[in-house]
Structure 1
C-alpha cells in the first residue's frame, strides 16, 4: 500500500510537470515570461523606433503603415473624449506630417514602458509617450507626456497597432521613472 501511494504521488507530480512544460511561467513579481520574450521585445523596440522615425521625419505613409487598417484610437486626455477609427485620426494628423516633411515644423515622439505583455503574435504595451513640436519660430512647444496603452498584432512578420489608447496626461517625473 505504501508503494502505491508513492507511485500515485510520482504520477501526479509527473502529470503536473508535463502539463506545465512549454507554458508561460510566473516569476516572483507576477510577470508572465515566455521563451520568446527577448525576440518579441526586440521586435517591438524596433517597431516603436520606426514610429518615432516616421513622426520625426514627417513620413506619413510610413506612420500609416504601423497601424492595422481597422485600428481604433481612443482619447481621454482632454475634454473631448473619443473613440475613432484610425482612418479618421490619420486625416486629422496628416497636415502635421506634411508640415514636418516640408520643414515647416519639427516633431518628435519617444516611448517608455511600464508593462509589456504578449506572446509571439500579440502584445499589450503600457507606458508614456513624450511628444514635442516646434513650429519653426524657435518656440518649441513644451513636451507633452501622455499615459497610453497599445494593442498590437503580428501579421506577415510585421507588428501593427490595432488599438491606441491615450489615457491621461503624465508628468515629467513619471516619465523619468520609466526606462
Structure 2
C-alpha cells in the first residue's frame, strides 16, 4: 500500500512538473525568430508583388537576410542555398525560399530580380521601406546596420544565418554561415517531413 502511494505521488509530481514546463514554453524566447504566424511585416518581392507572412502558410520556409552589394557572405550563402536545393531534388519545390534585403535604399525589386537570377529560380527577393525592413528584422530577431566605408560608400552589417520554419509557421532551426552540407541538408529535410 505504501509502495502504491509512493508511485502515485511520484507520477502526480512528474505530471505536474511536465504541465508547468509546458505552460512556460509558451513564452517565446526573445533571441529566436517569432513563429511566422505571429509576424506582421509587409514587403515587396522581386516582381513587384506584396508579400506577408500569411502568404507562406502551409509551406516550410527558408529565409536569409542579405543585400545585393554584399561582397562575400551573401553570395556565398546564396550559392550554398542553391546547392542545398539541388541536393533536395524535387522536394525543394515544396519550400518557400527568400532573401530579405537589409539595404532597401539600393535593393529595388529590379535590383533583387537581377541579383537572385544568378543563383536558383526558386529563391525570391524581398525588399521594402526602411521601416518595413526593420519590422521584418525585428520579427526574425535579425540585426542590421549601415556602415560607412572610407570611399564615401557604405556596406551593411547584418545577421548571417539561414532561418528554417515548419509548414505550420513554427521556427525550426538556423543553418549557420558555412555550415557543412552534411548537416544543413538534413535540417532542411526535417522541415519538409
| Higher RCO (CA < 8 A, seq sep 6+) | 2
Higher fraction of helix: 2
* Structure with greater strand share of residues: 1
